[in-house]
Amino acid sequence: MEERKASKRCGGVFPFIIGFLATCVLGWAVIPGLFFEKVEQPVWFSHAVHVDGQGMDCESCHYFREDGSYAGFPTNEVCAECHAVDPEEAMEAIAEEGIDPNDYEAIMKAGIGAIEDNLASSDDKMMQAEREYVVKYLIQGKEVPWLNYQYQPDNVYFSHAAHMNLSIEELAGMKKELASVVDPSVFEGDAPEQNCNLCHLKDIQLNDEPPAFERNILSGYSKMTMKMWKCERCHALKGQPNACYTCHK
C-alpha cells in the first residue's frame, strides 16, 4: 500500500513539472511572437543606392533643423531635389490621357512622358519603386507614411541632439557592460564616423532591402522600439540622470 501511495504522489509531480516547463516555453518563446505581424514599407527603398550609388550621407535626408529639433524622415520637398518630376505638369498629362489621378496602376502603365522622362533610376526594380513613389505620393502632394522602426510612445521624449556626440570608440571600453544593450558587432573594426549604429539598425547605409516592420498587433508599436531598461543602463554607465522627467515629459 505504501509503495502504491508513493507511486501516486510521484505520478502527480512529474505531470506538474512537465506542464510547468511547457508553459514556460510557450510563454517565453512562442506566445510573444504571436503578438507581432510583419508589415512592408509603403515604398521599396534602398539605402545602398542612395549612399553608395549617389554619394549621399545620412545628413542629406536625416538632419537637424535650425532650432535643434530632428527632422526624421525626409519630406517630398527634400526628395524632389533629385526626383525632379513636376507635379503640375504630370497631373496635366494624366488629365489629357483621361486617367483618374487616383488610379495609380493605370497611371504607371500609361508610360506618361512627364513622369517617365524624369525618372532617375537605372534598372527596372529601382525604376518601378521610384515610379510608385512619384505617382502615389510626390505628384499627389502626399507624404510617404514611412513606418518608423523605433517610434517612441507619446509620453517619451528622445533628443537626437543630446546623443549625436556619443563616440562609439569611447563606448567600446564599456562593450562588456553594454553587451545586452548594443549589438556587440558595432564595436568591431574601425569606429564608424556615424554613431547611428548604437540605437538603429546596424549598417543601414548598406541595406538594399528595407527590413520588415514588426508591428505589435495590440499597441501598434515596433518590435525594435527602444526599451526603457536599455536607456537606463546606458545612462547609468555614462553617469547621466535616470530620473523619470529626463525622458518622460
- Residue 199 has a pLDDT of 85
* Torsion angle defined by CA atoms of residues 7, 11, 13 and 15, in that order, rounded to the nearest 10 degrees: 170
Chain mean pLDDT for the chain: 85
What does the pLDDT read at residue 193?
A: 62
Residue of 168, 183, 163 lying closest to 224 (CA atoms): 183
Burial class (CB in 10 A: 0-12, 13-18, 19+), 230: middle
Judge whether 190 lies within some domain.
yes
pLDDT digits (tens, 9 = 90+) for 16-62: 788 777 777 767 666 777 888 999 999 999 998 898 888 888 888 88
| In a domain? residue 158 | yes
Alpha-carbon distances, residue 227 vs 9, 48, 100, 199 (angstroms) = 44, 28, 45, 11
Q: What is the pLDDT of residue 97?
A: 92
Q: Is residue 153 part of a domain?
A: yes
For the chain, which residues score pLDDT lower than 70?
A: 1-12, 26, 28-30, 190-194
Per-residue pLDDT at 92: 94
- Position 66 in a domain: no
Domain count, the chain: 1
- Residue 194's domain comprises 149-248
> Is residue 211, in this structure, part of any structural domain at all?
yes
Residues 6+ away with beta carbon under 8 Å from 231: 247
pLDDT of res. 23: 78
Angle at the Cα of 241 (from 238 to 246), degrees rounded to 5? Answer: 125
